[in-house]
Structure 1
Amino acid sequence: MTTFETRVTRTYSQEDIQQILHLAIARQADDNNKEFSYEQLREIAGELEISPETLQQAERDWLEQQGEMLQRRAFNAHRQGRFKKRFGNYTIVNAFLLSIDLLGGAGLSWSLYILLCCGFAVGLDAWNTFNSKGEEYELAFQRWRRKHQVKKFFNTVVSKWLKAWQI
């Protein structure tokens, strides 16, 4: 480094610091092939003058984000499974209709119109299933999430009630 470069003070925004530290920690974890303990996390936070309360709140926020990511993956798997089932039904029904049309002796005629219309509907369904951005997706996710929270609540209440009756 030249003398001029050492005299110039570098400044970074908070976002820049986060990105640099994220890359450095990821690189160190890759180099040593290890994970960090909670004590090491507290030590790093202490060196960065992050209070224990702020660290605990950040950890709670992170755990909440991880939980939501798991729920989104489950929601996407649910939607894709539902689409696969509908696509299978579409395939079976249209194969049956094509067979009837072929057995009718006049070749394929009326069944192609049904195949085309159903294919259009399946294409729209695929678009809605695999498009995971936008307001419609968020609304569908929130409905699914509430539905599963209600199911979980009732399952908990029923299981507690059944345990109380077993005693």
Structure 2
Amino acid sequence: MKSNESNNLRSYSQEEVQQILQLAIARQTVESDQEFSYQQIMEIASELQISPELVKQAESDWLTQQSEVQQRQAFDLYRRGKFKKRLGNYAIINSFLILADFVGGGTLSWSLYILIFCGLTIFLDIWNTFQSKGEDYENAFQKWNRKHQIKQTINTVLNKWFKGLQTH
């Protein structure tokens, strides 16, 4: 009886409530492999006295966040793909230079200097490619995102234009 009384006297901040409920919901869905419908979310919100408008607003914010997460993942894949291409070019060019140096003189001499210099640029490229925090990353992401959105807009306009031409 004493533990029930102490449970009733406890109080939690809004952030603590959020964290506790988030952990409880996560455990429930892991144990029962359950997903929640929109209606269930609205019922839970109603029980917590959260207005439907706030839930809709929160869902909209969440969808925006998820969209940005997906865009960042696409950007990271794009950067890694570009890096792999540059690494392949580096390997091909340096292999050719080493082979030319070896065939031309029977030893490796001048090509090693080029190999070291290019290796330094590759290490800097590795650093820049896999660094996913900081101002440089944000600037690169914003630039890529603008280009990506412009391409999508142009594709949408062209698709509508071509569909318009096909119907005439």
Which bin holds the TM-score, normalised by the shorter protein?
over 0.9
When residues 27 and 4 of structure 1 are mapped into structure 2, their CA distance, relative to the original with a 3 A threshold, is closer
Map Cα deviations across residues 90-120 of structure 1 (whole Å, 9 max, x no partner).
Answer: 0010011111111123411101100000000
- Aligned CA RMSD, in angstroms, stands at 1.6
Equivalent position SS for 1:25: helix
Where 1:104 maps in the other structure, the secondary structure is helix
> What corresponds to 2:86 in structure 1?
86
Q: Determine the structure 2 residue equivalent to 1:120.
A: 120
How far does residue 126 in structure 1 lie from its aligned partner after superposition?
0.7
Please give the residue correspondences for 1:1-167 in structure 2 after superposition, counting only pairs within 5 Å.
2=2, 6=6, 9-167=9-167
Say which SS state the counterpart of residue 31 (structure 1) adopts: helix
AA partner of residue 113 (structure 1): Y
Q: Which runs of 5+ in 1 are unaligned?
A: none
TM-score, L = length of structure 2: 0.94
How far apart in 1 are the matches of 2:121 and 2:96? 18
Distance 1:32-1:107 versus aligned 2 partners, 3 A rule: same
What letter is aligned with 2:85?
K
Change (3 A) 1:3 1:147: closer
TM-score (normalizing by structure 1): 0.95
Identity of aligned residues (%): 59
Residues in 2 aligned to 1:28 and 1:7: alpha-carbon distance in whole angstroms: 21
Q: Can you give the 5+ residue segments of structure 2 that lack an aligned partner in the other structure?
A: none
Equivalent AA in structure 2 for residue 108 of structure 1? L
Larger deviation: 70-79 or 157-166?
Answer: 157-166
